[in-house]
Amino acid sequence: MASIDRMSLLELLRKSGSDGDVDFLKEALNVLVHSLMEAEVAAQIGAERYERNTERSNQRNGYRQREWHTRVGTLDLNIPKLRKGSYFPSLLEPRKRAEKALLSVVQEAYIHGVSTRKVDELVESLGMKGISKSEVSRICKELDDVVMAFKERPLEGQFPYVWLDATFPKVREGGRVRSMALIVAIGIRETGDREVLGFDLGMSEDGSFWLEFLRKLVARGLRGVQLAISDAHEGLRRAIGQVLVGATWQRCRVHFMRNVLSQVPKSSQSMVSSIIRTIFAQPSQEAAVLQLRQVAQQLRGKFPKAMDILEQAESDVLAYMAFPREHWRQIHSTNPLERLNREIRRRSDVVGIFPNRESAIRLIGAILIEQQDEWTVARRYFSLESMAKIVNGEQLPLASTTLLQK
């Protein structure tokens, strides 16, 4: 095989010197790529073409055609087919998982009759011309296996901090376009490293959906949760209390401020916001509790409903202050997860409306796998020294609970 390839390349080289119309680089690449495909197939089935041996596990079965767009032009590939199973050239595999998922979503949009001008432009920009339905199915199946393995993998170690939140992508189901609830959980391992713990897609963000989701996380190995950070969704709160027994709940400070200011006239919101922020500027949980009560007393006359919300949230919105001070900036709100949700929205907005639930899980799962890969090689989110304060009991998260009693 190698001698044939050398002969082909030498013949091309001779032609390139005498015939100016021959695109040497393009033809040379064509020879090389077909040689590599033949080598890969030979390794996969255990035999060269026409070779007979006892190690052969499969047989060739002709070729299928596919265009491959490269920098030196479009190559017409003859990809070997097998009698059993399938072969796909590794040269065509280096797309990121999320790019493959986006490809499958766009193609499914065409298949299900929901194409748009925006999708057409995307197809053209990605060079996805003439891709068959069977090729889409193959890509989808490959991605589904990878995403499902990631979604259901065992969780190892302890996760003292867990963030929970939901977003609402649009999905076509039962002939209608619905806003579905995408719920995502991320956590901090005892080593200080971030991890995507899980995700799921359901009809609505109700308590039963959250309850089932958290139970699945625990069944997969989630343990050691000391602080769960989320907004004040009642169903989620109840689910945290039932499943993450012993964990403290931190009400997202950003969502809390929005709730308080919704009960304040616009003209006074800036002033009230500045005064409330003095609570979070205190050096300790004890001082913050005292400041909160003073602020509530000071503003109750003008903004009674807002101050009711402030007083009722006292223990929940200040829970983070019982943990190491080095972590306060990241654990007082769902902002770390909000950033991930923004990236999910940015990537999925290209699709607009998912053609079905499976395609949404496929793309979002691929994005989360990529994010996990990036976190794996990134620096720790929290240092080992600061994590040791709660993992080894140097700083107990409920140490200041008595100060929250009125």
Q: What pLDDT score does 406 carry?
A: 43
pTM above 0.75, yes or no: no
Q: How many CA atoms lie within 13 A of 389 on its CB side?
A: 14
Find the CATH number of the domain harbouring 402: 3.30.420.10
Number of folded domains that form the chain: 3
Same domain, 320 and 339: no
pLDDT confidence tier of residue 112, bands split at 50, 70 and 90: low
Q: Which of 42-46, 315-319, 385-389 has the lowest mean pLDDT?
A: 42-46
pLDDT in tens, 252-305: 999 999 999 999 999 999 999 999 999 999 999 999 999 999 999 999 999 999
* Distance between CA atoms of residues 198 and 226, nearest Å: 18
Of 60-64, 124-128, 140-144, 238-242, give the range with the top mean pLDDT.
238-242
Same domain, 167 and 68: no
The residue assigned the tokens 């009674």 is 304
Q: Which of 119-123, 358-362, 399-403 has the lowest mean pLDDT?
A: 399-403
Q: What pLDDT score does 88 carry?
A: 80
| Domain limit, last residue, from 47, 64, 92 | 92
Q: What pLDDT score does 355 carry?
A: 85
* Distance between CA atoms of residues 138 and 133, nearest Å: 9
Pull the structure tokens for residue 331: 């654990």
> 71 with 52: CB under 8 angstroms?
no
CA 152: distance to chain centroid?
Answer: 14
Same domain, 136 and 52: no
Identify the domain containing residue 374 by its residue range: 95-251+334-406
Q: What pLDDT score does 59 carry?
A: 87
> 363 with 169: CB under 8 angstroms?
no
Same domain, 237 and 263: no
Same domain, 8 and 75: yes
